[in-house]
Amino acid sequence: MLAEEKAMLVPSLEDFVRIDRTEISVAEGAQTRVIAREAQIIARLRAGEMGAFEDLVSDYTALVYALAFRILNDREEARDVAQETFLKVYRHFGRYRGDARLKTWICRIAINQARTTDRWWRRRAKAETSSLDEPLAQNGEDRSYGDMIPSSDESPELTAIRGERSRQIEMALGNIKKDFRIAVLLRDLEGMAYDEISYALGISVGTVKSRIARGREMLRLELRRAGQLPPDCSSPE
């Protein structure tokens, strides 16, 4: 699966519905392996090993592309932002002091680069951008994001239902203001801690929590409008 395809995978509708009923958790062993992997790449980069940068790009391309696409809503621009982000990581890695995780530092660069590109286009009154629910082209064929959800042994009917739910979530996300959308994505798709999101976005932890709460509620409202949630659906205290 291509990195851009991985970037567009979304959690199930049920995952979003129960977002504030249970905190996102990462298996302790898996988290330890991720941190160890980061430490290894950092050490190799500081030793001047070029292969380490290739591994870094491989590990974070999907994340960087997804963030850029969610901000810009344009595939070509997202690709350009991803390239520029990794160029900056390469050029300025000497400035990385370990104050934040490598992933968080890269997210901050990607978000700032995407925002700079977004402002550039806004100043020039860009006429139109791609729709979030526009199908991706692959091998000459169009495929919707829902089609990319692994089906395993699911029946065709269940696969179709999941694909439609995925499409509805994508559309709902696209209708949320960017600041709230990015906060929700970093928390609920990437599982980042509040302080990591604070660093990546350059805002206070309090503002992070507020944006996540508001973004989740906006998402629920959009899903209700789309008929994907019952009118009285709410999460228990």
First-to-final CA distance of the chain: 39
Which pLDDT band, with edges at 50, 70 and 90, does 123 fall under?
A: low
Question: What tokens does 200 get?
Answer: 């990546």
Higher pLDDT, 228 or 132: 228
pLDDT digits (tens, 9 = 90+) for 77-113: 999 999 999 999 999 999 999 989 999 999 999 999 9
Q: What is the pLDDT of residue 231?
A: 62
What share of the chain has pLDDT > 70, as a percent?
Answer: 64
pLDDT at 129 over 70: no
CATH hierarchy code of domain 10-127+148-225: 1.10.1740.10
pLDDT average, residue stretch 189-218: 94
Q: Where are the domains of the chain?
A: 10-127+148-225
